[in-house]
A and B are shown apart, each in its own frame.
Chain A
Amino acid sequence: MNKIRELLDGHIVDYIESDMTTITVDKSKLKKVLSILKEDIDLKFTQLVDLCAVDYVEYGDSEWQTKEATSTGYNRGIRPSSHSRIDFSNETNEDEYDLCVTYHLLSITQNQRIRVKCFLDDDSLVIPSVTDLFASADWYEREAYDLFGVLFEGHNDLRRILTDYGFIGHPFRKKFPLVGNTQVRYDPEQRKVVNEPVDIEPRTLVPKVIRKK
């Protein structure tokens, strides 16, 4: 794996060996790095196994007070998270996000895997598409666009893929409520399917707890 460090010297921001080699690259170097990994004769990371987006905006936020208890023992809940916001007056800002796109590559000849992470740290949601390097990126990028709103520049068919026709919003962002915003039902009077605000109650069954050893 020293070979990777040598080859990519100057192109990568971060290099970690965890469960697999994980490199972080800047958006401007992304395609360069991926094409080196794919084309190099000793590496041959020819298969894009997976591509996904991650929203880091609530990373490390706990919902439950673990260090100190209140005088009554309850309530130790710190804040309602967007996943389970307590009521709808509790507005969350769906425009808040901190996105990252992760690529998992596989080299069949070397039996090696590598993870490439690319953060969208400026305010732009645009990232270069890798469909010209890996054919499998096509639907994966459509999925990341649909669920997270990442815009892949150079993808020639960036449509929604998993959500309903006419869906609004990017549901896998952390600030998008788990119960959603709208629900559909058939209205017998209008004789058509109508969209209306959700009326199911959001709830937290188990709060998110972070215990530091």
Chain B
Amino acid sequence: MSDYKNFTMNFGPQHPAAHGVLRLILEMDGEVIRSADPHIGLLHRATEKLAESKPYNQNIGYMDRLDYVSMMCNEHAYVLAIEDMMKLDIPERSKYIRVMFDEITRILNHLLWLGAHALDIGAMSVFLYAFREREDLMDCYEAVSGTRMHATYYRPGGVAKDLPNIMPKYMLNKNQNLDQVEKLNYNREGSLLDFIDSFIDRFPKNVDEYENLLTDNRIWKQRTVGIGVVSPDRAIDLGFTGPMLRGSGVQWDLRKKEPYEVYKNLEFDIPVGTEGDSYDRYLVRMQEMRESAKIIKQCCDWLKNDNGDFISSNNKIAPPDRDAMKENMESLIHHFKLFSEGYCLPVGETYKCVEAPKGEFGIYMISDGANKPYRLKIRAPGFPHLASLDEMAKGHMLSDVVTIIGTQDIVFGEIDR
């Protein structure tokens, strides 16, 4: 036996299964992991420090770039913190719009997670299917904000723009003929809400498709069942939130437990796992997508019958509309002050969190009465998840490390910040 000894292996940071820039130092005993030491920070951009040097509204864009697959949820926590400090009440319509886009974001995130996770452990086609649906949701992002990823759509006081009445269409181009373009545009004749409606009608069937490919698939089960098991108590102790915690069987969802915006008016269920392994977390996330679709449907119906304001009329925080700005002196002054100096928050501190697709995304903000945050701490859900990688991977095979990274839904934008 003296011939054998453990050896240390470097994994990443340029490994396709490292989901970005994870570097792992693995201590191996043959094929078995004895310890895993993640080295992070390769994407560290000091977002928290940058935020301290910018007026409040200019930081919204940084939030998108944290967890860059669930952009709007990050913005949500940030604007909630500002609104909480100001004790600002926002119009009902903007709350519904935010909730709808939070759930669109959740589906976007889970689809990317599903595709990447399946690809990592050997299933190619799910990735392609998942990206087909992501494309439509990206178009929704684009329709409201003009960009497909880094939207900067949520603003303190509401959202930047109202939902458009016309859904943008594909145009005739040299790669597609008229028939193909018309086929692409079949559900884009109406408004954005009509488009979302038609998406939600077909989406549950799409989830069935993915499940057909994976849920009872022998290879999928062999790769995920019993891998990375975390007991409920241990999950709480390790700081798990979101699907990672629910996969271990703890019923904890901020949308139910600390309902923000309009979640208390909506009907949806919280799926929980029983075993706490990678397969359960997969099942939880799949079910979450169906629940999200239900929420989007309810928001859509509500929004169709409403013509309220999409942003607060308090011009100390929300900019006045363009017409008013051009005609009236007071609005012009408000506009100028808002986009040069910004606004000052009262002295104090707050912690606001939302149920982001990966778990609890929190913003701890301290204000000393200035137009910039004095300290902004971002509580990223992925950070404690990755911290537990050592514990989850210990005793598993090298190939299971890939499964565990996948099941943790690691995105480095939020972990490194």
Q: Which residues of A contact B (CB under 8 A)?
A: 18-20, 22, 46-50, 52, 54-55, 59-60, 62, 83-84, 102, 104, 108, 111, 113, 115, 134-136, 138-140, 160-164, 171-172, 178, 204-206, 208-212
Contact = CB atoms under 8 A, between A and B. Distances in A.
A113 B236 contact: no
Contact of A48 (B41, B48, B239, B372): B239
B1 interface: no
A136 B238 contact: yes
A54 B367 CA distance: 12
A59 B369 CA distance: 9
Given A59-B374, A209-B344, A47 B236 contact: yes
A49 B378 CA distance: 11
Contacts of B46: 171-172
A145 to B, nearest CB: 13
Nearest to A204: B53
A139 B54 contact: no
Given A136-B384, A162-B41, A206 B416 contact: no
Nearest to A173: B49
A100 B48 CA distance: 16
Given A18-B348, A49-B362, 16 more contacts: A49-B379, A50-B364, A50-B379, A104-B379, A134-B239, A135-B239, A136-B237, A136-B384, A140-B384, A161-B41, A164-B41, A178-B49, A209-B370, A210-B344, A210-B368, A210-B370
B48 A46 contact: no
B341 A135 contact: no
Contacts of A108: 236, 250, 252
B349 interface: yes
B281 to A, nearest CB: 18
B341 A209 contact: yes
Contact of A139 (B371, B372, B383): B383
Contacts of B237: 46-47, 134-136
Contacts of A19: 84, 348-352
Given A59-B374, A171-B49, A206-B55, A162 B40 contact: yes
A204 B52 CA distance: 12
B258 interface: yes
Contact of B369 (A55, A111, A171, A212): A212
A108 B272 CA distance: 15
A206 B57 CA distance: 12
Contacts of A47: 236-237, 239
A54 B344 CA distance: 20
A163 B351 contact: no
Given A50-B377, A162-B41, A172 B344 contact: no
B88 interface: no
B50 interface: yes
A118 to B, nearest CB: 15
B43 to A, nearest CB: 9
A52 B364 contact: yes
A52 B377 contact: yes
A80 B29 CA distance: 56
B52 A83 contact: yes
Nearest to A178: B53
A22 to B, nearest CB: 8
Closest CB pairs A-B (n = 8): A136-B239, A162-B41, A139-B387, A52-B377, A50-B379, A19-B350, A162-B44, A135-B237
* Max count, chain A CB within 10 A of own CB: residue among B48, B50, B341: B341
Contact of A162 (B352, B371, B416): B416
A49 B344 contact: no
Given A84-B53, A136-B237, A178-B50, A209 B387 contact: no
Nearest to A20: B351
Nearest to B365: A19
* Max count, chain B CB within 10 A of own CB: residue among A47, A113, A138: A47
Nearest to A136: B239
A161 B40 contact: yes
A138 B386 CA distance: 11
A60 B250 CA distance: 42
B257 interface: yes
Given A54-B366, A138-B387, A161-B40, A211 B257 contact: no
B340 interface: yes
29 contacts: A18-B350, A19-B84, A19-B350, A19-B351, A20-B351, A48-B239, A49-B353, A49-B379, A50-B362, A84-B53, A102-B364, A113-B351, A115-B351, A134-B239, A135-B234, A135-B237, A139-B383, A160-B41, A161-B40, A162-B416, A164-B41, A178-B49, A178-B50, A206-B55, A206-B371, A206-B372, A208-B372, A209-B371, A212-B369
A18 B369 contact: no
Contacts of A111: 257-258
Interface string B259-281: 00000000000000000000000
B223 interface: no
Contacts of A59: 368, 374
A140 B257 CA distance: 25
A169 B349 CA distance: 27
Nearest to B347: A60
